[in-house]
Amino acid sequence: MFYWLLKYLLMGPLMRLFCRPKVVGVENLPATGGAILASNHIAVADSFFLPLVVRRRITFPAKREYFTQPGFKGGLKRHFFLAAGQFPIDRSSGSAAQAALDTGVRLLGEGKLLGIYPEGTRSPDGRLYKGKTGLARMTLDAGVPVIPVAMIGTDKVSPIGSKLWWPHPVEVHFGAPLDFSRYSGLAGDRFVERSIVDEIMYSLMELSGQEYVDMYAASVKERAEGNGSVKPAAARSS
């Protein structure tokens, strides 16, 4: 219920009014059945605009920290994510990560849409970074298609470091579904999984117009913390 209230009564109308989201390729979305929406991730606003333009409900995995922060603010955040139907991902160990993947596969088996950011974290500078192979494992285990999604302009709506949102045109581009059934039964093969994720990231690069960097975004962020900052790159915007 809270998900639909946010979408149609609370945030959705304001987002449409001030950002006029443009959708391209909506015909690529399946009307029914499980599928993964694999999106680039350039802003916090991504997780709001993608559900806004998709009629079906989307479930996103969220960092476990969002559900465990103490205090009043932590409690509000936890209730918000739970009410919106998100599920926590614990990446502290291999078994915890596998449990999160299993949850994703179960949801896909129930015919749900799953929103995934293959980069694992928000881009630190607007470029597109190397994808993580958990997405490939989930795709193979669930036997569902992957729809690449390019978010464009959301980084101008909620810039890194800003607590405010700003009016700016947003575009959401849906690519043609990617079918990996040819790899059926090969889940766990790291070469196959890397090949799948690289194909998805190439599709995202073409859709978004972003420069691709063959490094993990999390590693770049860690390096930036040591050096002081990350030099922003020019990202495509509407």
Tell me what pLDDT residue 224 has: 80
Query: How many other CB atoms sit within 10 Å of the CB of residue 32?
Result: 7
| Helices then strands, each counted (H, E), the chain | 10, 10
Mean local confidence (pLDDT), 82-97: 68
Mean pLDDT value of segment 61-87 = 72
Q: Which residue has the tokens 């802003």?
A: 43
Residue 237 has pLDDT above 90, yes or no: no
More confident residue, 83 or 26: 26
Q: Of the ranges 7-21, 23-37, 64-78, 107-121, which one carries the lowest mean pLDDT score?
A: 64-78
Residue in 122, 119, 142 with CA at minimum distance from that of residue 204: 119
Whether the per-residue pLDDT at 1 is higher than 60: the answer is yes
Domain boundaries, the chain: 2-59+93-226
The lowest-confidence range among 23-37, 85-99, 134-148 is: 85-99
Share of the chain above pLDDT 70, in %: 89
Inform me whether the pLDDT recorded for 84 exceeds 70: no
Determine the pLDDT at residue 235.
Answer: 45
pLDDT over threshold 50, residue 33: yes
pLDDT(69) > 80: no
Q: Angle at the Cα of 132 (from 130 to 136), degrees rounded to 5?
A: 125
> 190-215 burial string, b = 16+ CB within 10 Å, else e?
eebbebbbbbbbebbbebbebebbee
- d(Cα 127, Cα 123) in Å, to the nearest integer? 6
- The pair phi, psi for residue 106, each rounded to 5°, is -65, -45
Longest CA span, the chain? 49
Architecture of domain 2-59+93-226: 3-Layer(aba) Sandwich (3.40)
What tokens were used for 90?
């614990």
Q: What is the pLDDT of residues 142-192, one digit of tens each?
A: 999 999 999 999 999 999 989 899 999 999 999 999 999 999 999 999 999
User: How far, CA to CA in Å, does 134 sit from each of 116, 118, 119, 166, 237?
Assistant: 10, 8, 10, 33, 29
Vertex 229 angle, CA 236 and 163, to 5°: 65
Q: Measuring CA to CA, which residue among 150, 165, 57 is closest to residue 112? A: 57
Q: What is the rounded end-to-end Cα distance, in angstroms, of the chain?
A: 32
Strand, coil or helix: what is 137? helix
Instruction: Write down the pLDDT at residue 85.
Output: 66
The rounded mean pLDDT for the chain is: 88
Mean pLDDT, residues 52-69: 84
**In the prediction, which pLDDT does 238 show?**
40
Residue range 186-236, pLDDT digits in tens: 999 999 999 999 999 999 999 999 999 999 999 998 888 777 655 555 444
